[in-house]
Amino acid sequence: MKKLRSSPHLPLFITLVVLAALYSTASILFHGFFSGSVAANLIGDNAMLGIAAIGMTVVILAGGIDLSVGAVMGFTTILVAVLVQQHHVPPVVAMGIGLALGVLFGLAMGFLIDRFDLPPFLVTLGGMLFARGIGFKISSESVGITNPIYDRLSEFALPLGGKAFFSAAALIYIGTFVLGIVVTHWTSFGRNAYALGGSEPSARLMGVPVGRTKLLVYAVSGFCAALAGVVSTIYMGSGNPSLYVGFELDVIAAVVIGGTLLTGGVGSQVGTLAGVLIYGTIGSALNFYGQLNSSWLRIAIGGLLLVFILLQQFLSRVKRAT
Amino acid sequence: MINPPELKFKSWFQGASLFWPIVGLGTLLLFNLVFSPSFFHLEIREGHLYGTLVDIVNQGSKVMLVSIGMTLVIATGGVDLSVGSVMAIAGAAAALLVTKVAFVWVLALSLGIATAAGVCNGILIGYLDIQPIIATLILMVAGRGVAMLLTGGQIITFEDPALVYIGNGHFLGLPFTVTIVVCVLVVTLLVTRKTAVGLFLESVGDNERAAKFCGINVPWVKVLVYACAGLCAGIAGLIATSNIKAADSSRVGEMKELDAIFAVVVGGTPLTGGRFNLIGSMIGALLIETLTTSMYDLGVSPAVASVPKAVVIVAVCLLQSEKFRNRLRGLVGGRVQA
């Protein structure tokens, strides 16, 4: 127990306990909640949140923040939809263009942040306004996608036995998650990001390529946001520039609930997955309860955020005291 | 304290840092002078002044109010993301109460709730040492939920003349909102520049530890600024609600926190804290509103109008970064700015 209390994995551990507690409470309260199909849908329905959160985790680990995520997602959905629907670009090419632009966009923001030492908060705020505006410039209305490849993608279902199945969105999320784990925890880039978030001057002295890491971190986030946008087009079968307004804050909330410290340097992709699932569990529990009212979801998420932050604060104080 | 008058004047207006915001606003106004002459047209109808410029000030009053509170918060090195949600809560509370209690109580209660929300932020940040972004994010997420819960997800309309007057009335020929902004601004300027409070804020923002050793009650100062930000947001929420004669909890104050941060930064207050410039923030807020109005005039859709905003904010950041380097070079000359 003592070992656990001083372990850096304690926030993650608590997050997992909360997830298990929430899920089992919901399973006891609501008939039919504890089923493979609800669990599989939890992953599919929260794929957009989860994919964006993977990129956000990397940015926050490196001590930054990315407020442009929601806007980049909205931009990508409308870009892909218009390319496929009005310009008859093959979907795969359109998705590729969307992803490439997301990466470029992230690189541009990373460049400004790194080269001119600008505050990430403001640069990505600018990025958010920019991407949102350009999205509306492409089309101010929702564009539906009717394309055989898209039909096949949205109807795709990988049976898991019983009534449960993974949709294309869920599979993409799982794939990205595995990739995210590899990149964050098993590459030198990931370690550099941790070092950078821990202490920038120390990282610099250790010889971490600070500039390149910052650039890449925002590129990763831009890629994840664009991918989340692409998944959204598959999930909804349409693109809309006004989607995902303020979504970046949900993403940040999920990452923080997952035990990643906003000061950088501490956190993990597994924690973020748990954070996303906690978010999703509350959402579907409210859904089962018949309270589709988003106000309760917001209050619950706010309350959870508060609890987790206080907990992290308490733990770091305990650690300092010992 | 012996202060030569010109030095005193400088401390009120902080000389050079107002230069860029004024240049920006001037350029925009000049642009409008050339491309849409009707922009500067003013006329008096029924004793009230009308015209695009008046509209800008009237529409901009909400951002101006919110950025007064935000300036103080940013001066201490913090940031308040919850102001938009607090606006919604104050508006919802006012719309609910206005049919039930006397108007004085409507004002007192709705602004009291807004201030209390700010105090909560302040306690989290000041006493529990939670990062400002995350502490106020909590209220930002939950607060809008509370506002929506208050109104039951409905849009609540009202006809009460006093509440409608706040956002739509005229006083001395100008929109009443102008009076509100001027009053709040003057009071804040007096408190921050004529008493030691302003210095407290700057020292907390500049070096918290040093401020603590100087005997400043740092947590208390933080509670004060977030309470102030909550109160300002509450007033702005009343105006926003009064403008449309309805409490629309899901929309009121949406993205206002970002507009306010934008205004403050454009106005020359760095996000790192330690210095602040209230007049600059006012100019910044007017700059945003002028930018938006100019876009309307040019027939650009309001959604696309966020692109020039983005360009301005990045440009301002770059300018400040350049200035930062100049200051570093200037340090060799021994000029240290407090």
The pLDDT of B300-315, averaged and rounded, is 79
In whole angstroms, how large is the CA radius of gyration of chain A?
Answer: 20
For residues B77 and B204, the answer to whether their CB atoms sit within 8 Å is yes
**Contact assignment for A136 to B140 by CB distance below 8 Å:** no
**Contact assignment for B313 to A121 by CB distance below 8 Å:** no
Higher-pLDDT residue of A220 and A2 is: A220
Give me the pLDDT at residue A222, please.
Answer: 97
| Nearby residues of A139 by Cβ (< 8 Å), 6 or more positions away | A78, A81, A82, A239, A241
Chain A touched by B328 (CB under 8 Å): no
The pLDDT of B12-28, averaged and rounded, is 69
Give me the pLDDT at residue B15, please.
Answer: 43
Give me the pLDDT at residue A4, please.
Answer: 55
**Helix B103-122 vs helix B83-97: crossing angle, to nearest 10:** 150
**Contact assignment for A126 to B310 by CB distance below 8 Å:** yes
Give me the pLDDT at residue A8, please.
Answer: 65
Higher-pLDDT residue of A157 and B236 is: B236
A chain contacts of residue B137, beta-carbon cutoff 8 Å: 249, 252-253, 305
A chain contacts of residue B145, beta-carbon cutoff 8 Å: 294-299, 302
The pLDDT of B275-289, averaged and rounded, is 88
Give me the pLDDT at residue A5, please.
Answer: 56
Q: How confident is the model at residue B246 (pLDDT cuts 50, 70, 90)?
A: confident
Encode A173-197: b = buried (16+ Cβ within 10 Å), e = exposed: bbebbeebbebbeeeebbebbbbbb
**Contact assignment for A126 to B317 by CB distance below 8 Å:** yes
Give me the pLDDT at residue A249, please.
Answer: 83
Residue A269 has pLDDT above 80, yes or no: yes
Least Cα distance to B60 among B330, B334, B321, B266 occurs for B266
Q: How confident is the model at residue B258 (pLDDT cuts 50, 70, 90)?
A: confident
Residue of A nearest to B311 (CA): A126
Give me the pLDDT at residue B150, please.
Answer: 86
Give me the pLDDT at residue A184, please.
Answer: 93
A chain contacts of residue B271, beta-carbon cutoff 8 Å: 119, 121-122
B chain contacts of residue A11, beta-carbon cutoff 8 Å: none
Give me the pLDDT at residue A195, please.
Answer: 94
Residue B44 has pLDDT above 80, yes or no: no
**Contact assignment for B140 to A296 by CB distance below 8 Å:** no
Encode A224-256: b = buried (16+ Cβ within 10 Å), e = exposed: bbbbbbbbbbbbbbbbbbebbebbbbbbbbbbb
The pLDDT of A159-172, averaged and rounded, is 85
**Contact assignment for A129 to B138 by CB distance below 8 Å:** no
**Contact assignment for A295 to B307 by CB distance below 8 Å:** no
For residues A155 and B316, the answer to whether their CB atoms sit within 8 Å is no
Q: How far is B303 from chain A (nearest CA, A)?
A: 6
Distance CA A120, CA A125 (A): 8
Chain A touched by B304 (CB under 8 Å): yes
**Contact assignment for B133 to A112 by CB distance below 8 Å:** no
Q: Which of A66, A122, A250 to mutate to test binding with chain B, by most B CBs within 10 Å of its CB?
A: A122
Give me the pLDDT at residue B72, please.
Answer: 92
The pLDDT of B91-111, averaged and rounded, is 88
A chain contacts of residue B138, beta-carbon cutoff 8 Å: 302, 305-306, 309
Q: Among A223-237, B137-151, B159-173, where is mean pLDDT lowest?
A: B159-173
- pLDDT one-digit tens code per residue, A92-121: 999 999 999 999 999 999 999 988 888 888
Residue A134 has pLDDT above 80, yes or no: yes
Give me the pLDDT at residue A320, please.
Answer: 63
DSSP designation for A14: H
**Contact assignment for B262 to A299 by CB distance below 8 Å:** no
Chain A touched by B307 (CB under 8 Å): yes
Give me the pLDDT at residue A305, please.
Answer: 83
Residue B13 has pLDDT above 50, yes or no: no
Residue A86 has pLDDT above 80, yes or no: yes
Chain A touched by B240 (CB under 8 Å): no
Q: How far is A68 from chain B (nearest CA, A)?
A: 11
**Contact assignment for B146 to A299 by CB distance below 8 Å:** yes
Chain A touched by B88 (CB under 8 Å): no
The pLDDT of B298-325, averaged and rounded, is 74
- pLDDT one-digit tens code per residue, B52-71: 788 888 888 999 999 999 99
Burial class, B125, CB count within 10 angstroms (exposed 0-12 / middle 13-18 / buried 19+): buried
Give me the pLDDT at residue A81, please.
Answer: 95
Distance CA A103, CA B80 (A): 30
Among partner residues A132, A245, A302, which is closest to B145 by beta-carbon distance? A302
Q: A with B: how many residue pairs have Cβ under 8 Å apart?
A: 137
Residue A255 has pLDDT above 60, yes or no: yes
| Structure-token match 């640069």, residue found | A123
**Contact assignment for B309 to A117 by CB distance below 8 Å:** no
Residue ranges in chain B assigned as alpha helix (H): 5-13, 19-35, 52-75, 83-97, 103-122, 132-150, 161-168, 176-194, 197-206, 208-213, 218-243, 256-266, 278-297, 306-332
Q: With helix as H, strand as E and coil as C, how does A206-260 read?
A: HCCCHHHHHHHHHHHHHHHHHHHHHHHHHHHCEECCCCCCCHHHHHHHHHHHCCC
Give me the pLDDT at residue A3, please.
Answer: 55
Work out the mean pLDDT of chain A and round it to a whole number. 88
Chain A touched by B143 (CB under 8 Å): yes
